[in-house]
Amino acid sequence: MEMPSPNAAILARKAELIAQLRRVLPDDAIISDEVETRAYECDALTAYKCPPMLAVLPRSTQEVAAVLHICHRAGVPVVPRGAGTSLAGGALPTADCVILGVARMTEVLETDYENRIIRVQTGRTNLSVSGAVEEEDFFYAPDPSSQLACAIAGNIAMNSGGAHCLKYGVTTNNLLGVTMVLMDGTVIEVGGAHLDAGGLDLLGVICGSEGQLGVVTEATLRILHKPEGARPVLIAFDSNEVAGACVSDIIKAGILPVAIEFMDRPCIEACEAFAKAGYPMCEALLIVEVEGSAAEIAHQLDLIKGIARRHNPVELREAGDAEEAARIWLGRKSAFGAMGQINDYMCLDGTIPVSALPQVLRRIEELSDEYGLKVANVFHAGDGNMHPLILFDANKEGDLETCEAFGAEILKLCVEVGGCLTGEHGVGIEKRDLMLHQYDAVDIEAQLRLKDVFDPKWLLNPAKVFPLSTTSTRRSPSLAAQ
Amino acid sequence: MKMMTPQSEADLAECIAGASGPMWIQGGNTRGCSGSGAVLSTRGLAGLTLYEPGSLTLVVKAGTPVAEVKALLKGENQQLAFEPMDHRVLLGTAGEPTMGGLFAANVSGPRRIQAGAARDFLLGVRFVDGRGQVLRNGGRVMKNVTGYDLVKLMAGAHGTLGVLSEVSLKVLPLAETMTTVAVPNIDLATGVRALCSALGSPFDVTGAAYDPQAQTAYVRLEGFAASVAYRARELIQRLSVFGQVEEVTGSAQLWRDIRDVRDFAGRPGDVWRISVKPTDAIGLIPALGAIRTLCDWGGGLVWALMPEGDDVRAKMTVPGHATLVRATSNTNRAARHHPETAPLAALSAGLREQFDPRGILNPGLMG
């Protein structure tokens, strides 16, 4: 993966930059030691590593503004970092950058149950936002798999989803307002506790902009009262096609489950070996979860079981109590961990129209044979967000490259059938060079122009999202100016 | 006034590229807001591109009438869940609302509090920017974080960044049944608090309005019949601390009227739409000096019928924003939107400059 070569002029002024930062940050917030900056050399896309020139860990919006103001004046690129859980390399540094981590900004600033909002500093983890409102039985709906570790800052940057977004939407649907610092240090407030901020929908475009438009330091999030209960049902089929048809029929019947998860045989086998959840051995397995009171759950599950039976399932298992529900979810929730036990893997994130499911799974199987690498599929079937896991051996010469080439083929396939490269992980560096498969050059140019407005010097996370060839003229003037 | 009605996206691009002055973009002309220059109608860009009920996805050309789409969806027991209002009632206009107009103005109704706004349902757009370039963003799948979300930016941009030619959207199942629980004879503060309580319950409320004239709070429930009956019982009990609670009939008409602010129709005065934190409505409404008001979205959306020329924006003592929706002849129509803070105004102006460098698309409409 090509990254821009570091700017020697910036590196030469490292000591000067540290001196300037010391004036606005406490000493313990500046990390310049070569050993310590290693901690920031990568995110969860560990195949790529590069220690930054410096890392800073501010505690407030004012400190973030001061840091950005200094870096802007000095022409130093800044890579914002939440908890470093990006699977797409969104927080991968360059050697001449300052990593701006929000990990120390974890305060809850306001909780308002009457108006159903919480305002937090964005370094707070996703799960601890729900934790902060649990005493009143409220929760924050988006639930990415990494929710124990990932920060709200990163959730906003990547517009993160999760298993339950079929009903509750993704981050952008649950974000009401932000305090954001622009690259030049200007602090802006967009939206707030009210709905639909006036003017252009800047909030909508900030969400999912991968830390390229500004650093979001505080966020107003929608919180909801927990449902009275939830219960999953597990449905096993002997073919992917039939499972796909069942998903479609459930949706057409007017039922909106909170989650419909899909696992194929390789994934089931791996999960079973790892988590021993007692899954039936079959070609395709659905976990469908519904919410409500006991009677509402029973009614919806009756409808779902009725539909499932018309598709002759191999097995239909309903959770009788919380323990059985946990067992049904156990395998799915440990899917990534299970794969990690067996192998190195690369997790893809393309989204496809639900109707294209059987066709896409068939083609992935063919590609798997062609590339000689195994794939396990686990995904959010209700919204077509796939997570094919390609297994490879990082210690084997050339295996990573083969895996990446295979992954690129799958993502192109997603685009061909009417889907997209990434449903919830973001583009980062991982899918950067595939952007021209989804968008024409003019469409990319329109997006670059948007960044021009927020960050005219192209200093914020500049080497991400777009193919380097499309951004080189924008990035180079700021470098040449040094 | 010169009227252009391109028949294809390529035609539309040509019209805009070749324009020499301001263009006022018109869908169904139900909100009628034009100045001097040419009118650019999207009505020639109509028709269904794709509908997959099992994927909850619909793709239509921007000039397609909303009524046609609603009828199509109804055939599959599906709906536009954001419940767009019909401006014809309030504005006394004719014409046929279009899908493009609906998204360009981010028009949502009572269900916005539960299901989301129009912008939350918009999955992808094709549009022609002020340079005359055909652009696309997003797609037709429900989860998509590939590149910047220009889809959201286009929703609610009122055509100032580009003219929509095609939209893809998420649709949802139509509820089997609905009912309304009402708390009559309560004052504004108690009414809003009752709505907050209902919205903070686990009972999946899909409408929460308070009518200050009727002194009544209304809460809507939708879903499968048995589930609605159960939740209505639970809500009646929960809300009984605020007053006498009753289940009322005629839900469909009641919520249509709230959606369209029918009570203000034909009454003289300016109509303002105010978005605030729900409980802030309690202090704001008495301070407005309005002829009539109506609260939707649990109090978060305040409709105010104001004396002519009485500018609500000057009376906003709480965070939020106000938009002039219906102006009488003596009111300054140009200043419809709430002023932005200086840095936000600079960003908005920068975006307009990038997408419409000649400033020809609905110039001045948003600032």
Chain A contacts of B55, Cβ < 8 Å?
248, 251, 353-355, 384
What is the percent of chain A with per-residue pLDDT over 90, rounded to a whole number?
81
**Per-residue pLDDT tens over the stretch A101-134:** 999 999 999 999 999 999 999 999 999 999 999 9
pLDDT band, very low/low/confident/very high, at A340 (cuts 50, 70, 90): confident
**Per-residue pLDDT tens over the stretch A149-174:** 999 999 999 999 988 888 999 999 99
**Per-residue pLDDT tens over the stretch B307-352:** 998 999 999 999 999 999 998 876 666 667 788 999 999 999 999 9
CATH architecture of A343-433: 2-Layer Sandwich (3.30)
Q: Of residues A221 and A342, which shows the higher confidence score?
A: A221
Specify the 3-state DSSP secondary structure of B217: strand
A252 touches chain B (CB under 8 A): yes
Tokens of A194: 């009210």
**Residues B144, A420: C-beta atoms closer than 8 Å:** yes
Q: What is the pLDDT of residue B335?
A: 65
What is the percent of chain A with per-residue pLDDT over 70, rounded to a whole number?
99
Q: What is the pLDDT of residue B34?
A: 65
Q: What is the pLDDT of residue B56?
A: 93
Chain B contacts of A225, Cβ < 8 Å?
200-202
Which of A207, A208, A295 is closest, CB to CB, to B230?
A: A295
**Residues B143, A431: C-beta atoms closer than 8 Å:** no
Per-residue HEC secondary structure of chain A comes to CCCCCCCHHHHHCHHHHHHHHHCCCCHHHEECCCCHHHHHCCCCCCCCCCCCCEEECCCCHHHHHHHHHHHHHHCCCEEEECCCCCCCCCCCCCCCCEEEECCCCCCEEEEECCCCEEEEECCCEHHHHHHHHHHHCEECCCCCCCCCCCEHHHHHHHCCCCCCHHHHCCHHHHEEEEEEECCCCCEEEEECCCCCCCCCCHHHHHCCCCCCCCEEEEEEEECEECCCCEEEEEEEECCHHHHHHHHHHHHHCCCCCCEEEEEEHHHHHHHHHHHCCCCCCCCEEEEEEEECCHHHHHHHHHHHHHHHHHCCCCEEEECCCHHHHHHHHHHHHCHHHHHHHHCEEEECCCECCHHHHHHHHHHHHHHHHHHCCCEEEEEEHHHCEEEEEEEECCCCCCHHHHHHHHHHHHHHHHHHCCCECCCCCCCCCCCHHHHHHHCCHHHHHHHHHHHHHHCCCCCECCCCCCCHHHHHHHHHHHHHCC
Max Cα-Cα span within chain A: 71
Q: What is the pLDDT of residue A480?
A: 44
A118-132, A363-377, B33-47, B288-302: range with lowest mean pLDDT: B33-47
Q: What is the pLDDT of residue A1?
A: 80
Domain boundaries, chain A: 108-225, 230-335, 343-433
Q: Which residue of A has its CA nearest to B104?
A: A200
Cβ-Cβ contacts under 8 Å between A and B: the total is 263
CATH number attached to the domain at A108-225: 3.30.465.10
* Residue A18 vs residues A22, A30, A76, A140: alpha-carbon distances, Å: 6, 8, 12, 38
- The residues, any chain, with a CB within 8 Å of residue A339's CB and separated by 6 or more, are A267, A270, A345, A376, A389, A391
A282 touches A238 (CB < 8 A) = yes
* Torsion sign, CA atoms A210, A212, A213, A219: positive
Q: What is the pLDDT of residue A482?
A: 42
Q: Does domain A230-335 have CATH number 3.30.70.3450?
A: yes
> Which of 104-133 (A) contact B at CB < 8 A?
112-117
Alpha carbon of A188: minimum distance to chain B alpha carbons (Å): 7
Tokens of A137: 């039985």
Chain A contacts of B222, Cβ < 8 Å?
none
Which of B55, B152, B300 is closest, CB to CB, to A201?
A: B152
**Per-residue pLDDT tens over the stretch A370-419:** 999 999 998 888 889 999 999 999 899 999 999 999 999 999 999 999 99
pLDDT band, very low/low/confident/very high, at A454 (cuts 50, 70, 90): very high
Q: Going along chain B, which residue ranges are E strands?
A: 3-4, 23-26, 38-41, 48-52, 57-61, 78-79, 122-129, 134-138, 162-170, 172-173, 177-183, 205-211, 216-223, 246-248, 270-276, 292-296, 301-306, 320-326
Give yes or no for residue B254 having a pLDDT over 70. yes
Alpha carbon of A418: minimum distance to chain B alpha carbons (Å): 7
- CA angle A426/B139/A468 to nearest 5° reads 45
Specify the 3-state DSSP secondary structure of B53: helix
**Residues A465, B147: C-beta atoms closer than 8 Å:** yes
The rounded distance, in Å, linking the Cα atoms of B114 and B110 is 9
pLDDT band, very low/low/confident/very high, at A334 (cuts 50, 70, 90): confident
A157 touches chain B (CB under 8 A): no
Average pLDDT over residues B265-280: 96
Q: What is the pLDDT of residue A406?
A: 96
A230-335 and A343-433, same CATH topology: yes
pLDDT band, very low/low/confident/very high, at A477 (cuts 50, 70, 90): low
Give yes or no for residue B33 having a pLDDT over 70. no
Interface test with B, best of A168, A195, A221 (most B CBs within 10 A): A195
Give yes or no for residue B46 having a pLDDT over 90. yes
Instruction: Tell the residue number behind the tokens 């590069």, with chain if given.
Output: A50
**Residues B341, A188: C-beta atoms closer than 8 Å:** yes
Tokens of B313: 């924006």
Q: Of residues A327 and A60, which shows the higher confidence score?
A: A60
Average pLDDT over residues A275-290: 92
A27-31, A102-106, A326-330, B194-198: range with lowest mean pLDDT: A326-330
Average pLDDT over residues A215-219: 98
The rounded distance, in Å, linking the Cα atoms of B300 and A440 is 40
Give yes or no for residue B191 having a pLDDT over 60. yes
**Per-residue pLDDT tens over the stretch B297-311:** 999 999 999 999 899
Q: What is the pLDDT of residue B180?
A: 98
Q: What is the pLDDT of residue A196?
A: 85
Q: Quote the pTM value.
A: 0.96
Q: Could you give the ipTM of this predicted complex?
A: 0.97
**Residues B139, A189: C-beta atoms closer than 8 Å:** no
Residue ranges of domains in chain B, CATH in brackets: 3-173 (3.30.465.10), 177-260 (3.30.70.100)
| Crossing angle of helices B188-199 and B281-288, rounded to 10° | 150
Average pLDDT over residues B25-44: 86
